[in-house]
């Protein structure tokens, strides 16, 4: 390896280019490390399972506008028609949709007295009948499902005791390691809910919510007495296009006084809910590629400039016995010295930048492997960028380089 001292001396004789490249490397390490960390976080959020059979669950909205219509009877009849359609595994009423960006949120208490009871974590509230669990494709891991005939028809139906099925995350947050089955929770001090089941996972409508995993299902059919209904139908994804037309035809044939709209699968709601995360990941990824390319081009340009400036010096070294490997090592050592200094300072700047992002945007702290991985990536990229022009320098003939000496 070429001695470092003469390389440093040569770099110090022309300080402007190395200093500019050093600043570029410092900024690249700081920005790329944080950008890569944010991309990893966003991709992690986008890969979270919702707990729902997303590609199978097709949702739509229905509005009844006829006067004198028995809405409760109409709702029961609609569900019978939907469940009888070829290819339909199940259908159920629901008040909100996972990943749908809007819905119901509430919070229970662990006792009936608001003065002494403790507030439990907030959660998304899904309301439906005994078919909703299967229509969503949820996995029941403890307890039981709602029972047929024990579904309240609307919030004002006080004749049916309230039961809830909670997610594993909510049970853990509310009761720790104790089993949630059989526990009672309260809303407003006078409404009591008995927990009868636990599902493995069911995300809420809000993907950016820190309580996204906290959800409950309540045995209330909100479609039982309302004109505006939301219904989910579970079927194979390949059948969705056919079912959209079949559902419209079947329901309009039975009762034409309604409007059906908003046909979307939960997978489509996922794509929409995470669109900003996907765009951010794309933009930051493009910025990383651009910064690496600019850094590589800057180092490659510096090497080519030095080749032109040091042609006679290189030729003289070749004449004195320097091999092509010695010349190649010279330029690579210059690159690695700049990269080592830039990576060290850039890593410190990366952690400071992360601290600022934590303060203003509530992001997580930067993990130490990201500056390290950025330095390794720069090492690989710049090695390729430097070695191509450096090989040209190593190929300079001593006779050509020293012909004017």
Identify whether residues 249 and 397 lie together within a single domain. Answer: no
Q: Give me the residue label for tokens 């569900």.
A: 79
**Residue 322 domain flag:** yes
Q: What is the pLDDT of residue 275?
A: 94
d(CA 199, CA 189): 26
**Residue 266 domain flag:** no
Copy the structure tokens of residue 335: 């690159």
Identify whether residues 72 and 131 lie together within a single domain. Answer: yes
Copy the structure tokens of residue 117: 């009871």
Q: Give me the residue label for tokens 């739509």.
A: 60
Q: What is the pLDDT of residue 2?
A: 45
Q: What is the pLDDT of residue 1?
A: 44
Copy the structure tokens of residue 314: 């290189």
Identify whether residues 251 and 364 lie together within a single domain. Answer: no
**Residue 175 domain flag:** yes
d(CA 169, CA 107): 15
Q: How open is the CA angle 329-332-334, to the nearest 5 degrees?
A: 110
pTM higher than 0.85, yes or no?
no
Identify whether residues 111 and 223 lie together within a single domain. Answer: yes
Structural domain for 117, as ranges: 66-256
Q: What is the pLDDT of residue 317?
A: 66
**Residue 264 domain flag:** no
Identify whether residues 232 and 317 lie together within a single domain. Answer: no
d(CA 58, CA 78): 15
Q: What is the pLDDT of residue 335?
A: 79
Paired with 264 in beta bridges are 59
Q: What is the pLDDT of residue 321?
A: 65
**Residue 261 domain flag:** no
**Residue 56 domain flag:** no
Identify whether residues 17 and 146 lie together within a single domain. Answer: no
Residue 301: which residues within 8 A CB-CB, separation 6 or more?
none
Number of domains the chain contains: 2
Per-10-residue mean pLDDT of the chain, 405 residues long, equals 60 70 89 94 93 97 88 90 96 95 92 88 96 97 95 88 97 95 88 96 94 96 84 97 96 94 96 94 94 86 73 65 72 83 92 87 85 91 82 68 53
Q: Are 127 and 222 in contact (CB under 8 A)?
A: yes
d(CA 41, CA 360): 17
**Residue 73 domain flag:** yes
10 Å Cβ neighbour count for 369? 12
Q: What is the pLDDT of residue 122?
A: 95
């Amino acid at each position: 390896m070429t001695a470092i001292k003469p390389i440093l001396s040569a770099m110090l004789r022309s300080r402007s280019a190395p200093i500019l490249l050093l600043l570029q490397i410092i900024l690249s390490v700081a920005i790329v490390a944080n950008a890569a960390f944010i991309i990893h976080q966003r991709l992690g959020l986008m890969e979270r399972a919702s707990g729902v059979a997303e590609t199978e669950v097709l949702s739509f909205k229905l509005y009844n506008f006829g006067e004198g219509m028995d809405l409760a009877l109409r709702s029961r009849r609609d569900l019978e028609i939907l469940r009888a359609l070829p290819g339909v595994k199940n259908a159920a009423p629901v008040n909100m949709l996972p990943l749908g960006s809007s819905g119901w949120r509430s919070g229970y208490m662990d006792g009936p007295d608001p003065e002494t009871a403790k507030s439990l974590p907030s959660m998304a509230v899904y309301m439906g009948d005994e078919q909703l669990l299967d229509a969503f494709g949820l996995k029941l891991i403890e307890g039981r499902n709602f029972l047929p005939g024990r579904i309240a028809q609307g919030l004002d139906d006080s004749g049916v005791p309230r039961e809830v099925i909670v997610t594993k995350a909510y049970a853990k947050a509310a009761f720790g390691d104790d089993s949630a089955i059989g526990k009672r929770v309260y809303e407003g001090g006078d409404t009591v809910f008995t927990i009868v089941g636990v599902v493995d996972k069911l995300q809420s409508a809000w993907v950016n919510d820190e309580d996204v995993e906290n959800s409950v299902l309540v045995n209330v059919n909100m479609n039982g007495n309302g004109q505006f209904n939301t219904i989910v139908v579970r079927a194979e994804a390949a059948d969705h296009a056919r079912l959209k037309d079949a559902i419209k035809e079947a329901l309009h044939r039975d009762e034409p006084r309604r409007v059906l709209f908003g046909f979307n699968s939960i997978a489509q709601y996922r794509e929409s809910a995470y669109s900003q995360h996907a765009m951010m990941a794309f933009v930051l990824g493009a910025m990383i590629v651009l910064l690496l390319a600019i850094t590589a081009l800057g180092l490659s340009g510096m090497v080519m400039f030095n080749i032109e400036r040091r042609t006679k010096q290189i030729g003289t070294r070749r004449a004195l016995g320097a091999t092509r490997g010695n010349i190649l090592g010279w330029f690579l050592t210059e690159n690695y010295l700049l990269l080592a200094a830039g990576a060290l300072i850039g890593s410190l700047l990366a952690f400071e930048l992360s601290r600022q992002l934590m303060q203003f945007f509530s992001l997580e702290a930067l993990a130490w492997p990201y500056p390290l991985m950025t330095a390794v990536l720069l090492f690989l990229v710049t090695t390729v960028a430097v070695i191509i022009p450096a090989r040209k320098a190593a190929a300079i003939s001593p006779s050509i380089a020293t012909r004017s000496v």
